[in-house]
Every structure is written in C-alpha cells, then in structure tokens.
Amino acid sequence: MLLIDNVQVIEGVTVYGDDSDFTKFYLVPEVPRFRMNETGLPSFSFFKYRMPIERADQSKGGGFLVCDVEFSVPADKEKIIKDKLQEQINQRFARSNQKPPEVKIGTITYTKGTAKLNIESISDKFVETVFNPGKPSLYGRNITPFTIELTDLGATFFEQALQNKGGFVQVAYDLYCVVKLPPIKVDVWFNSSKFMSFTQDLVKKQVSEGAFRSVCRWLFGGTKKSKTTVEHDISEVATQHDWGGVNIQFNDFKASDEVKQKIRDWAWASLAEAVKNAASEENKIKPLTEEQKKIPDNVTDFHQRISNYKFTSYSMTYRESQAVEWNMAPQGMLEPIVNLKGKDGKPLKWEDFSTVVDLDDPFFKTLEVPIRVNADFKDLPIDSVEVHCDYHEGSVHQINEYSINSPDKLEKFKSFIENGQWNYKYWYQVNYKGESEVFKSKELTTDEKFLTINVGDTGILAVDIAPRPI
C-alpha cells in the first residue's frame, strides 16, 4: 500500500514507496494531459461547421471539441523513472553478493474522484453544452472523456485559443486513494449542539365596569358595558454551537515540512467533511409548522411549550498502520496540441486534428417553390387552377400537382436537386365555372424561386361595356 511519507520527485513525477515492499513504487504525475492513443497521437478532435444560409433561427454554425484527458505518466518517462529507481535498489545491494531485485511500479487504488475543465464555466455565448461523465475511470490511466459543443462565436474563438502555445484548456482532478499512515497519531473531533424552544401564553379576561361607571349610568342613563382583554406572549429561540479540532502527534516521525503539511491538510479536510455531515438535512431541527403553533378555538387560558434538542458528535483517531482515504488534487494546463510531438519526434500540426465542415451539402439541397394564382376567383368565371410541377435530373424525379381556388391559397413544390440543377418544368390548367372547356398552358421551364400564375395567363378576356348616348 502507498506510504505517504516515503516520497521523492524524479523527472517532475512524485514517487511514493510501498509500506511493505521496498521494490514497489507508485507514480503520481504533476499535471493531467491529453490521452495518447496506440499510435502516439493525442485523442483530440476539433470540428468547426457552417450551416446553410436559409435558417429560421438565424444560426450560422458552431463547433465541437472532443477529447480524452488522462492522469498518468507517459511510457517513455516511466521507463526513465524506473531505471533511476533501479539504480537506487542496486546501490542498496552493492556490497552484498545478492542479485538486486527488480523494481515494480504499483497501481494506486482510487476510491472516488471527479474531473472538470475550466471550459465548463465559460460564457454561454461561446459554449452551448459540456458533456462530462463527472468522474474519471478511477483505475489504470484515469481517463475522462469530454465533449464540448460550441456556438459560432465559440468555434471561432476556440480555434485560435487552442493553437496558442501557452495553452488554454485547464483540467482539475479531485481524487481520493487509500494510503498507509506513517508513525503518527491523529485525533479529529467535532461536536454540534442545536436547540430550539417555542413558547406561547394566551390569557383572555372579561373586565366588568367599575363603580364610578355604574353611578354615571344610574344618573345619566346608558347601557351596561364590559370589555375583554387578551394577553398573547410568543417567544421563539434557536441556538447552535459547534466545536471541534485536530490534534496531530508526529512523535519521532522524520519527514519534510511539505509531507507534514499534507498530513495536516488531510486531517483538516476530514474535519471539514464531519462539519458538512453535521449540517446535512437529517441533522437539522425542522421549524415548527403553523399547525403546531395553532391555538385551539374558544380557549381563555392557553400555555404551550415546545422544545427540540439535537447533539451530533464525531471522533476519529488514526494511528500508525491504519489505512486512510487520502486526497490528491492534480490540476493544471493541458499541453497544447501544437507543442506536442509525434513518435517521429516532429511537432504535431493543428490541421491534422481540426476539421472544417460545410453543412450546406449538395446531397441534401432542396428546391422549395411557393406557388400561388394571382386571379379574382370571386368575380371572374374561374373555378380553379391546376398547377403541375416536374423536376427530373439524374436519379431524382419529383412530380406534384396542386389545385388552387383562391388568391390567398399558397402551395409549395418540394424536391431534392441533383448535379446543381435548379430548373424545373411546369404547366397549368384553368377550369371555368359552368364550362366543360378548359385552358391548358404549354409546358414551361424555369428556375424561379416563387411561381405566380397571373390572371392574364389564364385565358380570360375581361371587357367592360358602358352605355353612352348616340
């Protein structure tokens, strides 16, 4: 098990020893990084896309940032560290005839943890949503996947920011693992006392008129009067007292001030967790309801006393050889893609991890033509106008017919297009009221985006005749 006081730093990596096996070590990197796949490339993709212009919501596009983050030591650096640790073991056996044992790299057992990006708190003008499972894998390389959906402004901003050699994306891990305590004694204790008291007294008294009032009423007349007095006293008191502390006895424990401070931080974090639990809903005194405070009807003398008391106590003593939960919070800037190198030693190119997508795909382009008839169906002898539309190009052949009997009626001809061809054919037929004869136009070819059949094209001749003197 990881022993927290057996610690050293090699190649910028914190190396812990084991509590029982001197050849076993645990590696803790300083900062997280982008996950590297089997080919030695980072698991990182940036997509910037553009929408077709004709959109009801006026959105222009956006972007996606998809990446995996891991908390592990690169294989090449792990080999260097392992070789240096082996040198330390070899020195211990330099004066003996025994063969030095081989160094082993252990796996840290994580019990819980979270991982977050600084991007999650950026303005919604740049970031739409962030998908984050909330916690890393808690084993192996502690991989956490992230998917960030960007607005059009965010896509433009992130495209530049992610190419900044100084970095832009920050990640914060908050991990807990099981470790072995050094030869120390730690006492963590906390007490919480809560008290609530509610008191109310109600007294109603009927007060008769005095002697002077009676004489006045006898001399000058009047009615007998009396009055009612009500005394209602309410008192409500709530108090809470919390006290606790941390006592650490290092005894003969020899370690750096940094290690001792980490132990203090861990102990106070344990106290903070106890305080948090004491403040939970189940440990709170619930306020009285109005029903509990209600005074019964028609009472003249009422006295009520309600009190509630809760006491919470937490005490824990940690000693040498005990296993405890230890917090590790690695965080920092992820190394930008443009600063990383491939297996060939050459710098990675942004273009290999970035894709620009034009969503105005010709495959999905559609022809949408509104159709109307500009004619007075009420006063002219027109019953209806039938419009026939035909689009035929390549493998696409779309035919639709519409019957229009009002100038306010609007139909729409829709068809996918192919080979960039926007031309379509149409003809129309005019049906007259009370007539078997019809007027049918010739077939026409057009690329108009709005098709209007005018009254002059419907085979109607309108003549106004007015009488005049001869």
- Residue 53 scores a pLDDT above 90: no
Clarify whether residues 378 and 280 are in a common domain: no
What's the confidence (pLDDT) of residue 354?
Answer: 94
Task: State the average pLDDT over residues 134-163.
Answer: 89
Average pLDDT, the chain: 85
Q: Letter for the amino acid at 292?
A: Q
31 near 23, Cβ under 8 Å?
no
In a domain, 73, yes or no: yes
- Say whether both 283 and 401 belong to one domain: no
Q: How many domains does the chain have?
A: 3
Report CA-CA distances (Å) from 214 to 206, 218, 228, 233, 355. Answer: 17, 6, 18, 33, 103
Residue 138's pLDDT band, with cuts at 50, 70 and 90, is confident
pLDDT, mean of residues 227-255: 80
According to the model, what pLDDT value does residue 190 have? Answer: 84
**470 part of a folded domain:** no
DSSP string computed for 58-102? ---EEEEEEEEEE-S--HHHHHHHHHHHHHHHHHHTTTSSSPPPP
Q: Does 307 lie in the same domain as 369?
A: no
Whether residue 230 sits in one domain with residue 122: no
Q: What is the pLDDT of residues 304-315, one digit of tens each?
A: 888 888 888 878
Q: Tell me the residue range of the domain where 416 lies.
A: 362-457
CB 34 within 8 A of CB 74: no
Q: Give yes or no for residue 188 having a pLDDT over 90.
A: no
Are 262 and 224 in the same domain?
yes
Q: Write down the pLDDT at residue 216.
A: 63
Do residue 164 and residue 190 come from a single domain? no
Instruction: Tell whether 369 and 409 lie within a shared domain.
Output: yes
pLDDT band with cut points at 50, 70 and 90 for residue 192? confident
Per-residue b or e along 83-96, where b marks 16 or more CB atoms closer than 10 Å to that residue's CB: eebeeeeeeeeeee
Q: Is residue 140 part of a domain?
A: yes
Q: How confident is the model at residue 47 (pLDDT cuts 50, 70, 90)?
A: very high
